[in-house]
Structure 1
Amino acid sequence: MKIDTIINQPVIETERFDLRPLRKSDKGLVEHYSSDERVARMTTSIPHPLPPGMAEAFVTRAMSEDRDEDTWAMDGTKDGGPELMGVISLKKMDRNQTEVGYWVAPIFWNTGLASLAVQALVEANPLDNATMFASVFQDNPASARVLTHCGFEYLGDAESFSVARDTTVPTWTYSRKL
């Protein structure tokens, strides 16, 4: 695995794809995929329907030098795939910890993409964290399997509000010491 830094966020290279910082040209695919109700319903923050300008605001925030979350595109161009197949992020927390978040476009579900992206991010540990956390909705066991496959351990049950569902949803919380 090779890591190169662009601006103040690294590019993380894997054999199949690269995790690279978002760029303005990603807006269209971010909008296309995140407007899919199946994607939005598995996140806490993506509304459905997706309001105009939301994808552009997301990309702009991700590109900001003073952001509190580093976001990478899962870019498959090195293997003949599209520039954006999903996104993965690390939200900064206190005590040298981060929270991992990710979504994958439905066309790439069940291909191992999420597991490879999470594993690459864990191995690179670009923010030199002591611990990474992640939460998934309990009705999304595929995402829970991604986390356990990547060495995350179950911590407990909780709940989070889902904007797309307009309700609080039970979650499973996981952590990984690095």
Structure 2
Amino acid sequence: MRDVIEIETERLRLRPLRMSDAGRVARFAGDPGVARMILRAPVPYLECAAEGWIMTLNARAPLGADFVFAADVEGEGLVGVIGAHKRGDDSFEVGYWFGRPYWGQGYATEALRGFVSAAQSLGPLQAGHFVDNPASGRVLEKGGFAYTGETETLYSLGRNARVPAKRMRYAPAMERGVGAREAVAC
């Protein structure tokens, strides 16, 4: 994963974020409907804040702790963001969001599947979703994540509130009910 520059899927190109993405990041992630489903998106989300976030990711790149990609649709540009951040226990937390105009088109599932195919090499992958966002749970399940049975309360900047979140881990063999060898071959 550390050497991966871009990931191609059927309809998406996952590539490193650029400063020129800041306007679309701010517009899409700053939508209250999107911001309330992710941890750290302020409302309003100013373009200069998106620029600062992108600069921070670029500055932290040598640490090997953040792997964040723009999800591009040809002819449209950035439609969402997907990535993983190192946790304190050497696992990586996977997260994603897509602009509201791109919901319901399968982009999140496609991006997640492409991303985890490369990100498995990082180590254990974890994820979660707010309990009032079951659609995100379905995306994560389709991408090979399984529920751990744990729930934690997290602070959502977009809601300015603490919200319960269901925890998941990447376990494609468990999710499909097949042996590990068969899951690797898929």
TM-score where L is the length of structure 2: 0.83
CA distance, structure 2, for counterparts of residue 52 and residue 107 of structure 1? 19
Gapped runs of 5+ residues in structure 2?
Answer: 173-186
Whichever residue aligns with residue 62 of structure 2, its letter is: D
CA distance, structure 2, for counterparts of residue 83 and residue 130 of structure 1? 30
Q: What's 2:147 paired with?
A: 154
Whichever residue aligns with residue 69 of structure 1, its letter is: D
Whichever residue aligns with residue 94 of structure 2, its letter is: V
Residue 66 of structure 1 aligns to a residue whose secondary structure is: helix
* 1:129 Cα deviation from its structure 2 partner: 2.5
Identity of aligned residues (%): 35
The one of 38, 45, 53 equivalent to 2:40 is: 45
Whichever residue aligns with residue 171 of structure 1, its letter is: A
The one of 90, 93, 99 equivalent to 2:87 is: 93
CA distance, structure 1, for counterparts of residue 171 and residue 62 of structure 2? 26
Deviations 1:118-167 (A, max 9, x none): 111111227x1231100110111110000111111101211100111111
1:62 aligned to 2:86?
no
CA distance, structure 1, for counterparts of residue 135 and residue 28 of structure 2? 18
Residue 140 of structure 2 aligns to a residue whose secondary structure is: helix
CA RMSD of aligned residues (A): 2.0
Contact 1:100 1:132 in 2 (8 A): yes
1:25 aligned to 2:47?
no
* 1:52 Cα deviation from its structure 2 partner: 5.6
Per mean C-alpha deviation after superposition, the further-off stretch among 50-59 and 132-141 is 50-59
Q: What's 1:134 paired with?
A: 127
Gapped runs of 5+ residues in structure 1?
Answer: none
Within-5 A mapping of 1:105-124: 105-124=99-118
Contact 2:79 2:99 in 1 (8 A): yes
Deviations 1:14-64 (A, max 9, x none): 121110000111111111111211111111101112246211111112222
Whichever residue aligns with residue 150 of structure 1, its letter is: G
TM-score where L is the length of structure 1: 0.87
